Amino acid sequence: MSDATKLVELLRTASVKGGMCDVAADLIEQQAALILSLESRTAQQARTIAAMCQQVADLERPVAPAVDAQPVGWAWKPRGGSLDFSDAQDRPSEVDLEYAKETGGEFVPLYASAQSEGLRKDAIRRESLEEAAKVCDEIAADCWSLYKGRAPYTGREAGRADPGVQGESDGADKCAAAIRALSQKTAQGETDG
């Protein structure tokens, strides 16, 4: 029996037993407060994710090298991808340059400040994405509680929900899965920029 049905029955009973009016009013207020609390928390979590995404976007801005600085190495940048600081080289070989020409990638000169800054940004980016995945899981839990109202979110696989709530909870599941996958790819150095 849904909460709405319980409220209707209580209100009907209240017409006969005056004391039930207070019970019904209390239950309505409790349900309204719960929904407002969940909506407020979800909105705050959404703002947190937005802030994390902005932080990641800021980290993508290139670091300008010092004037007349000499490169300390070279990093591989695949076509359409981001710099890979994990495999920096003193100087790309002829074979590397030929491969870059064939695939549309390039070797980008690294300067001391840019290299250390790049490694720092990669670490912060991974941490931000991992935190975003956690926040998204919390939103999924709130959505589950709000729409189902009978059992806590348990990290179920998509398609395993009750028919009446599957549409509402699948969106939260997909969000959590997408951000978690991006976080894992980032940790493995497979980002697309």
DSSP labels for 52-89?
HHHHHHHHTSPPPPPTTPPPSEEEEE-TTS--EEEEEE
The backbone region for 149, taken as left when phi is positive above 0, alpha when psi lies in -120 to 50, beta otherwise, is: left
Q: Could you report the per-residue pLDDT of 122-174, keeping only the tens digit for each?
A: 767 767 766 766 666 666 666 555 555 444 444 444 444 444 444 445 555 55
pLDDT in the model for residue 10: 56
The domain ranges of the chain are: 3-70+111-187
Tell me the chain's radius of gyration from C-alpha atoms.
26
Helices 166-187, 112-148: inter-axial angle, 10-degree rounding: 160
CB burial class (10 A; 0-12, 13-18, 19+) of residue 50?
exposed
- Residue, of 130 and 176, whose pLDDT is higher: 130
The Cα–Cα gap between 160 and 144 comes to 12
